[in-house]
Structure 1
């Protein structure tokens, strides 16, 4: 695992869209926050296998809007490494809080964020049914509501 290198996406480098679309099926949403945010990639042996994006939302607050790990690499702690790197990045940039939103059906993600110190602070009812044209199912559950979490830095 020590061979995972996490770094900012270079200005002349293409964002790993296939990975980003694993975490958010809306290309339009992904392209929008890529323009506004900072993208970081995790690579091993020169191959990008993970990604996350941070965007400014309010003064002193940054949001983690996408965390994705290549399917073949999942279950190996890479997602946790990416989230913890995002926490340290936000802290080093001087933010006071880091927020994240995930689907009510995203059981593994909800567990991961809480293991990393995030606390549930709210629910945006029907966020996914309002903002995505196709229904999203995870773990046999319709993804309807966005669960909002925050970590004070």
Structure 2
């Protein structure tokens, strides 16, 4: 089996849209940020099996993981963790101090994943997932209504000068 490589992506964002759609339920929201920021991809051979989108927040020293997904047939094998590690390293190397990520409060799996990667709870944004913000009414994740967004952060340390 080929080694997984994580690298910056410079190709067409449209080719990655199916991956983006794994992590974003609102087509209008995805359209609003698909072309923003930078993309890291995880490749196995020539195949893209996961991605992570990093965007500026407009606040000095902060960047956000806006969208991240791993192909469903490759999940649970450490690919997402590799992408997050690469994002942490890139953000720290660029002298950022905080890496942010937001996920649905209902998505217990995502909350667990990000905490395992060193993220901590920051704030809760109530009623973030509504028809007014482009999300279908009555959506559920693991039997929990999709309503609130949880923001998490990972404090970064500058890379050592070895």
Q: How does 1:1-153 map to 2 (within 5 A)?
A: 3-11=3-11, 14-57=14-57, 58-129=59-130, 130-135=132-137, 136-153=139-156
1:15 and 1:7 mapped to 2: Cα distance?
16
**Which shifted more, 22-31 or 108-117?**
22-31
Q: Which of structures 1 and 2 has the bigger CA Rg?
A: 2
Q: Secondary structure at the match of 2:73?
A: helix
Quote how far apart the aligned CAs of 1:35 are. 2.4
- Please, what TM-score do these two structures have when normalized by structure 2? 0.87
- Structure 2 contact 26–135 (Cα < 8 Å) conserved: no
Q: Secondary structure at the match of 2:35?
A: helix
Unaligned runs of at least 5 residues, structure 2: 157-162
Quote how far apart the aligned CAs of 1:42 are. 0.7
After superposition, the C-alpha distances for 1:74-112 in whole angstroms (9 at most, x for unaligned) are 111111111121111111121110000000111111011
CA RMSD of aligned residues (A): 1.8
Runs of 4+ in 1 over 4 A off after TM superposition: 11-15
2:13 and 2:106 mapped to 1: Cα distance?
33
